[in-house]
Structure 1
Amino acid sequence: MADTKSDFAPTAAHATRRKADENSITPAPLSSQHIDGHHADQDQETAAYAGGEAIYIDEKTNKKLFWTVNRRILVCMLGTYFCQSLDKGTLGFASIMGIRQDANLHGQQFSWLGTILYMGVLFGEYPTNLLLQKLPVAKYLSVNIFCWGVVIACSAAAENFGSLMAVRFLLGMFESCVQPAFIIMTAMWWRREEQAVLTSLWYCMTGVQLMVGGLIAYGASHYDGAIMKSWQMLFMVLGITTCVWAVFVGWFLPDSPMKAKCFDEDTKRLLIERVRANETGIQNKTYKRHQVIEAVSDPVTWCYVLLQVTSTLIIGGLGVFSNLIISGFGFTVFETQLLNIAQGAITIIIMISAAFTAQRTQQTAFTMHAWSFPAIIGTAIIYSIVPTASNRVGLLIAFYCTQFFLAEGNLVFSLISRNVAGQTKKSTTLTMCFVGWAAGNMTAPQIFQAWDAPRYRTGFTVHFCLYAIFNVILVVMRFLLTRRNKSKRAAVATAGEAETLQQAGEEKIAHSNAFADLTDKENPDFRYVY
């Protein structure tokens, strides 16, 4: 692992001192745009590394830094999200392994097991975002991973509706830290232009867990022991595995570039300077009330919240009921478990293709519009056609088309990580968004009613409405962000403080406020990406 001083020392070969240009980063004093000194507050740990002369990072060094971060940070993020997705999705696998019969579940009780998980997330969201701003991110994350691993293992002993509700609530409460922690880490370690793909990569673990989980569930389905049922063994094995992973994360994952003992001082400085142009900062442990007020009163924040709610109302229901929907097409239990492998592979392709399209075109919102259309078509087919032995493959393909909407979730996350600045504002925005995310997932299973099985036409009718609402909100969000960028450019031009880079058609920005813990609205250098 390239973590040594000789690899990244800022010598003439890699990082040279020069005047600010489009590649260099100038830590100048706060701009003359009359920024409130009370609002500008640089974190002391960050200030120890982000200061002095500008550091020019050439492309070769940048790539080395990028892959160094990936080998350590991304590995932990991918493994953690895989564990979270697999553990959370275990109920879906167990749904056709006998848990409904063994726990005597009837009516809407199975749907409530999907709902209660997100009640736990909802309960844990505010304190977990508050703690993430105050505590070491990696250590806090590893403790929560271990706790939910214990909960999953204990789920094997839950044999009735009440006990299953209890363990599912606790699982949601401990898992509530993952996405907020990842959004903080993504902004901390990667450049803005890299974040859409990086967010999609860890979100792809949803597909990987379907593939791996499908194989594990297929094997567990053949188990017929005297001590425990097949679904109980599944919970036990996955819970213990998650606990082992938690210990590894606590040891291997650094809390921040400043505290990364695996990197030398020169490497830390380069890692921090590398993300200066993000204008979102790295960390700041000071709670700022004015940033809370800005977050709550910002209409763009509410667009993010509504995008989370509408997307998860669709994604959450499809996730919990996917195996029941597919088996309703006429597939056996074993066939349905194996078809999870194909579904997982398709999900990965959908996620990565959406992320690369958004990155290459620099049009995240338009990509989100485009990826919603196959989902609408697939939903229309499932709604309209009665399952028979001759059309079950066609219906399966239509169901796979609905999975295109999964890409919306990770692209919304990438919008938040790239477009919200100010640590307290980001923490508040994340809390609001994940409350919306939890509320959507909490309600989603209730859209699919037991009396509506196996076609769930009422549920898919609701999905049609949600597709329309989602796309309208996306249009509103894009309009607001476009208008803000125009206002910022006009303000800078009026003040005569910016030069334009006519060749590239882009502004040249000094990034002098990058680590001042200003919000995206306060910072004159901040530009929204969408």
Structure 2
Amino acid sequence: MADNKGPSEGTETENTASNLPEKQDISTTNTLKSSGENVHKDVGAHYFELSLQHDPAELERDSVKMMVTYMLSFLDKQTLNYSNAYGLQKDTHMVGDDYSWVASALYFGWLIGAYPSNLALQHFPIAKTVGSVMFVWGALCMLQASAFDFSGFFAIRFFLGFVESCISPAWVLLTSILWTRDEQPLRTSLWIAANGIASIIGALLAWGLGKADHIAVPNWKLIYLVVGCFTIAWGAVILLYLPDGPHNGKMLSEYERIVAVWRISKNRTGVQHPKFLLYQLREALLDAKTYLLLLMAAALGMLNGSVSNFMSALIKGFGFSPVRANLLQMPGGACEIISVILLGYISTFKNMTGITIILGCIPGIVGLAGIMTISTAHPYNLVACAWIQGVLGSPVILSWTLPVLNVAGHTKRSTVIGLYFLFYCAGNIAGPHLFFPKEAPHYMSAIKGLETCYAAVVVLQIVYTGICFFQNRSRDRLGYHAQDEQEAREGFEDLTDLENKHFRYRL
């Protein structure tokens, strides 16, 4: 039934409170913080209550000033791909499918760390956790230069994946608590476009380091040392400047924090809740939509694990030298940047997120078909088909946003995100093993397997969007609506998307 409750108390002050001096806001905040009532509440709840004292029109105007984009480069994931062109396998005595196992090792570590890291992100400050992890991550990246055989390389890559397992979920969670649901797909697409930038910078870096002559360290080791240093330096920046959410951003005044929390109150999902609720875990495991997301994660993981680790080997197999093979990956990075931002923008339109994920799969399908059918007598046509695989970044990242956009309840959301990345990692592990050395350069078995993965993503997304559509329509038909203020407050009460009948799924 619709809630016809009248306006809440304090409406009378809404038109004048925005002119209150900032000191008054701070004292009110301190009073709320000192009371024991917020111990087990969402960390943004008291800022939302404060926002109700301000004029919504003024809050809307001020919120425009506070759009900040956070970008993190995942160069270390590409270092294996780049170093492979410079004699990595020969120097470390890899034979057979050893390289495929090393490519998978990172995701074995991520697989083990996926769920614990998501629980940690629910309980501990997000930015502080990520910043601390990046120091270890950078050190491990540099340590790869010390590996001299398969087992050593596998072990280091495993631990690298373990510590990295919190990075992508943390960025997804930060996006969900810094921007509204309408803004999240594009904002997420903007920071994942940094992967395309990383592909270009990484290709140039690998090309430049590959040109270094008369040095004591092999060229492939230089890549790990340089990228590891960059990661450690960036970790210091994250630790010092990145906020854990809109409630404690150093760049924001007390009033601006109120504005920031007011903006994301429209999400109906709150900011962060420290308490683990067992019933929300059960609900996550019994919700059919969870399993559709997990199957999509596995399929996209197989695609990502294959494309990211075998691009240089694929291009090299078309008849190019190792140095040129790395350089020829740059246009693929440009394809990723353009497609991710363009499709991310399209996804911001009403009911377009699911359709955009499907559209993002089509270029990849066409490109793989080209690799299967075009002769090696036309190497640049084959390379162009490989570049198109960069478009994969768009369906991958938009799919990452679905558990955040459409799952409410902090324990339920953490569970679904943790399981999602666990299945995504499993797919990344399996992907490289579709490539059999004897089938180079076309790798027919791998191409057919990846075509199947693309088709699976399309079908699963259609089913998922259909279920969300019918659940939204059912709630509309039953009249589940309330005043905006009440619906926003419910978002800070840690209700799940099935409990909160005012919640609507993004299609």
Report sequence identity in percent.
Answer: 29
Report the aligned-residue RMSD: 2.3
SS of the residue aligned with 1:95? helix
Moved more, 275-284 or 220-229: 220-229
Contact 1:41 1:517 in 2 (8 A): no
CA contact (8 A) 2:336 2:392 kept: no
Q: How far does residue 121 in structure 1 lie from its aligned partner after superposition?
A: 0.1
Is 1:96–2:85 an aligned residue pair? yes
Give, in whole Å, the separation in 1 of the partners of 2:273 and 2:152.
Answer: 40
Tell me the distance in 1 between the aligned counterparts of 2:355 and 2:331. 27
| Residues 477 and 387 of structure 1, relative CA distance in 2, 3 Å threshold | same
Asked if 1:48 is matched to 2:54, the reply is: no
| Residue type of the alignment partner of 1:322 | M
Sort the Cα spacing of 1:264 and 1:457 in 2 relative to 1 into closer, same or farther, 3 A: same
Equivalent residue number for residue 34 of structure 2: none
In 1, are the aligned partners of 2:14 and 2:55 still within 8 Å (CA)? Answer: no
Q: Which residue of 2 aligns with 1:32?
A: none
Match of 2:489, SS state, is coil
User: Does 2:473 correspond to 1:489?
Assistant: no
In the TM superposition, 1:353-372 aligns within 5 A as: 353-372=342-361
Could you say which residue in structure 1 is the equivalent of 2:63? Answer: 65
Partner residue in 2 for 1:221: 210
Q: 2:115 aligns with which of 115, 119, 126?
A: 126
1:21-420 mapped onto 2 (5 Å cutoff): 43=41, 45-51=43-49, 53=52, 55-58=54-57, 62=60, 65-70=63-68, 74-75=69-70, 78=71, 80=72, 82=73, 85-388=74-377, 391-420=378-407
| Conserved 8 A contact 1:223-1:229 | no
Distance change in 2, residues 1:14/1:442 (3 Å): farther
Listed one character per residue, the Cα deviations across residues 213-269 of structure 1 (whole Å, up to 9, x for unaligned) are 011000100123442111111111111121111111111112222233432221111
Which aligned segments of 4 or more residues in structure 1 are displaced greater than 3 angstroms? 10-17, 52-59, 61-67, 507-510
Q: Deviations over 1:320-354 (max 9, x none)?
A: 00011111112222222221221111110111111
Report the residue type matching 1:445 in the other structure. P
> Deviation of residue 41 (structure 1)?
10
Which residue identity does 2:342 align to in structure 1?
Answer: S
How far apart, in 2, do the equivalents of 1:329 and 1:385 lie?
11
TM-score (norm 2): 0.89
Distance 1:342 1:12 in 2: 53
User: What stretches of structure 1 of length at least 5 have no aligned partner?
Assistant: 1-9, 18-39, 500-506
| Paired positions, count | 477
TM-score (norm 1): 0.86
In structure 2, list runs of 5 or more residues that go unmatched: 1-12, 21-37
1:16, 1:56 within 8 Å by CA — same for their partners in 2? Answer: no
SS at structure 2 position matched to 1:360: coil
Q: Which has the higher helix share?
A: 2
Question: In structure 1, the residue corresponding to 2:275 is in which secondary structure?
Answer: coil
Q: Which of 481, 490, 494 lines up with 1:513 in the alignment?
A: 490
In structure 2, relative to structure 1, the CA distance for the partners of 1:290 and 1:276 (3 Å cut) is same
Q: What are the Cα deviations for residues 84-124 of structure 1, in whole angstroms up to 9, with x where unaligned?
A: x2011100000001111111111100101111110000011
- Change in Cα spacing, 1:66 to 1:123, as seen in structure 2 (3 Å) is farther
Offset of 1:167 from its aligned partner? 0.9
Indicate the residue corresponding to 1:5 in structure 2.
none
- 2:85–2:323: 8 Å Cα contact kept in structure 1? no
The answer for the alignment partner of 1:502 in structure 2 is none
Q: Are the counterparts in 2 of residues 14 and 58 from structure 1 also a CA contact under 8 Å?
A: no
Question: Could you give the per-residue CA deviations for residues 15-36 of structure 1, whole angstroms, max 9, x where no partner exists?
Answer: 589xxxxxxxxxxxxxxxxxxx
**Structure 2 residue 412 is the aligned partner of structure 1 residue 425:** yes
Distance 1:16 1:42, change over 3 A: farther
Please tell me whether the aligned partners of residues 357 and 398 of structure 2 are also in contact (alpha carbons under 8 angstroms): yes
Once the 2 structures are TM-superposed, how far is the Cα of residue 11 of structure 1 from its aligned partner?
A: 9.8
Question: Given that residues 106 and 158 in structure 2 are in contact (C-alpha distance below 8 angstroms), is that contact kept between their aligned partners in structure 1?
Answer: yes
What one-letter code is carried by the residue in structure 1 that aligns with 2:277?
K
Aligned AA for 1:301? T
